[in-house]
Chain A
Amino acid sequence: MTVGAEAIRAEKLVKSFGHVTALSGVSLAVARGETLGILGDNGAGKSTLIKILTGYHQPDSGGIFVDGQPVRFGSVDDARAHGIECVYQDLALVNGLSIYHNMFLKREVLWGGPFGFLNHREMRRRAAAALAEIGVAVPSVELEVGQLSGGQRQAIAVARAVLSEARILLLDEPLAAMGAREARLIIDLIERLKARGDIAILMIAHNYAQTLEICDRVILVQHGEITFESRAAATSAAELFDIVRREYRAARAG
């Protein structure tokens, strides 16, 4: 594994919704070839953080830097233009369409210009090549996505993001509701993406053990702040568990 130059950096991101402060000064940086795990309870601010990085929300203050350059995202398309892709939990796949149609949805390859016809053969070829490159095995790219397992669907969603030249990949709970074998499929896929060395991965997760295994670094988000940050190799699940347990006790004590 090689960790390259800084891909994305966030500085002192603040975001409030009315009287509720979702983020109160979050800073982080992820390098190319590095995987950052973002842990935290529901409502801790993880989703808000991801939605700011994907351009869905705009921060009240603070800055975002891609490749060291300050950027301002007015929309999801702005973030995409900077190579930021997010794979959401709902995966945004169309079950009734084939794998290759899903991978090229809205980025179709056409014969002869923007008013041309769909180039099915070229899309099939490129989709199969892209899946082979990142080691995702499917019987045929012509299969309907609805016929795939949960792990395969997740892999297709990740492959689509990679195919669209994503350089900063945000994964929202990629292992949620998945059996051990299915999870293995995705963990292996993330490992291979990491090994390419040109993609920075930010992964939201709940499962401490899996996150520590996959990620290079982990952060813990609580009440809109980063309360813990460490290299995964130097962290134990028990350590994280203790921090969260202290939190619960404090909350119960009022």
Chain B
Amino acid sequence: MERAARRGIARRLHDFLLRPEASVIVVSVALVVYFELSNANFLTDANLQTVSQFVASPVIIACGEIMLLICREIDLSVGQVFALAPFVMEHAQALGLPVPLAIVAALLVCALIGLVIGLITIKLSIPSFITTLGMLFLITGVTLTISRGYPANTPGGPILTGIMGAWGYSEIVWALVIVAIMHVVLRHTRWGLHTIAIGGNIVAAAEAGIAINRIKIGNFVLTSTLGGLTGLLEAFRIGSTDPLAGGSNIMFLGVASGVIGGTAIAGGAGTIIGGLVGGIMLGVMQDGFTLQGINAFTFDIIIGAAILIAMVANTHLARLRAHGPWGGGTAR
């Protein structure tokens, strides 16, 4: 009995360590230890705030992109929606709306953009890679037009501003709440299950009677809305916003967070928690190497190499999990 129990624990530990999230957590902890040992300023309140701010934006965006990647779509334009949202808010406020309603108006515009992306992709059978590539340029043009190319100050009183991002940890609190909600959506609702089924086998999903178009379009709306929210949070944190903020950089960091955390680019598999730990790893690296004084050029080389290593590791871990000592249905 005891031996069986011990074997059970060993197997669980083994299964956990083979999960993509686990390896990323191990690497992240190792990085934190390394940065703290080589630079005493890492685990200070001020620096942890900075790290949390590096982490929050990619993680919120990853929550949307992971849902899209799982059902075999992608949104390349989410970083441009990020830049547009604060300007929509400012225009709405200039038209006389109180700031909270202006925030809602901005999020509605972002949701509408997601709806348009979804409808073009689904109804006209355009790959989302292409739809959102077009939207990427289109939205940048709109943002530059309505801002006339100038940065703008973020409106709002101190309490609202604090909640929306000015307090050091508010952005990461938003990110963690969204992660919690999206984790439940993905693992414990029909929406999440059907998203996975669509990416795993679209013919099977169709034969089961799943409303494929509705779910895909819904995930586009979700991603654009989260992109807009992230842009608003950053605008409140910084106090002003730039028409070229966010962009492809923040989009790729979001996608990379998901992929490092084990989301399959080919669809059908992925976890929100993986996106969180992927985002944490990227944020810790970004902050730690900045503290080390590594210059920006070297930093990109390191990030690129880290993404490649994480991808290779995850691919091989997935294979190990399927065929390893405790894998394989009949062998058990």
A interface, CB within 8 angstroms of B: 77, 88, 90-97, 101, 105-106, 108, 110, 117-118, 120, 138-139, 143, 146-149, 152
Contact = CB atoms under 8 A, between A and B. Distances in A.
8 contacts: A92-B207, A94-B268, A96-B199, A97-B193, A108-B190, A146-B322, A147-B329, A152-B329
B210 A96 contact: no
Nearest to B192: A118
A95 B184 contact: no
Listed residue (A94, A118, A146) with the most chain B CB atoms within 10 angstroms of its CB: A94
Contact of A143 (B193, B201, B209, B329): B329
Given A147-B322, A148-B329, A106 B201 contact: no
Listed residue (A139, A147, A152) with the most chain B CB atoms within 10 angstroms of its CB: A147
Interface residues of B, number: 27
Listed residue (A105, A108, A149) with the most chain B CB atoms within 10 angstroms of its CB: A105
Nearest to A77: B209
B47 to A, nearest CB: 38
A148 to B, nearest CB: 5
Contacts of A101: 193, 197
B189 A117 contact: yes
A100 to B, nearest CB: 11
B332 A96 contact: no
B328 A147 contact: yes
B190 A94 contact: no
Q: Is the interface of A mostly helix, strand, loop or mixed?
A: loop
Question: Which 5 interchain pairs have the tightest Cβ spacing?
Answer: A94-B200, A92-B204, A147-B329, A106-B208, A96-B200
Interface of B: 184, 187-190, 193-194, 196-197, 199-201, 203-205, 207-210, 268-269, 322, 327-330, 332
Given A94-B196, A96-B268, A139-B329, A105 B204 contact: yes
B158 to A, nearest CB: 37
Given A147-B327, A149-B329, A93 B209 contact: no
A105 B269 contact: no
A93 B188 contact: no
Contacts of A94: 196-197, 200-201, 204-205, 268
A92 B201 contact: yes
A96 B208 contact: no
B271 to A, nearest CB: 12
B322 A95 contact: no
A218 to B, nearest CB: 27
B165 to A, nearest CB: 31
Contact of B204 (A93, A117, A138, A146): A93
B193 A105 contact: yes
Contacts of A90: 203-204
A118 B192 CA distance: 10
A191 B93 CA distance: 72
Contacts of B330: 139, 148-149, 152
Given A96-B269, A105-B204, A138 B329 contact: yes
B197 A139 contact: no
A118 B186 CA distance: 10
A95 B330 CA distance: 15
A117 B193 CA distance: 11
Given A92-B201, A94-B197, A105-B204, A139 B332 contact: yes
Contacts of A118: 187-190, 193
A106 B203 contact: no
A202 B205 CA distance: 24
Contacts of B189: 117-118
A143 B329 CA distance: 7
B230 to A, nearest CB: 27
A94 B210 CA distance: 13
B11 to A, nearest CB: 12
A105 B197 contact: yes
Contacts of A93: 201, 204
B200 A97 contact: yes
A88 B207 contact: yes
A92 B328 CA distance: 21
Contacts of A120: 188
Contacts of B184: 117
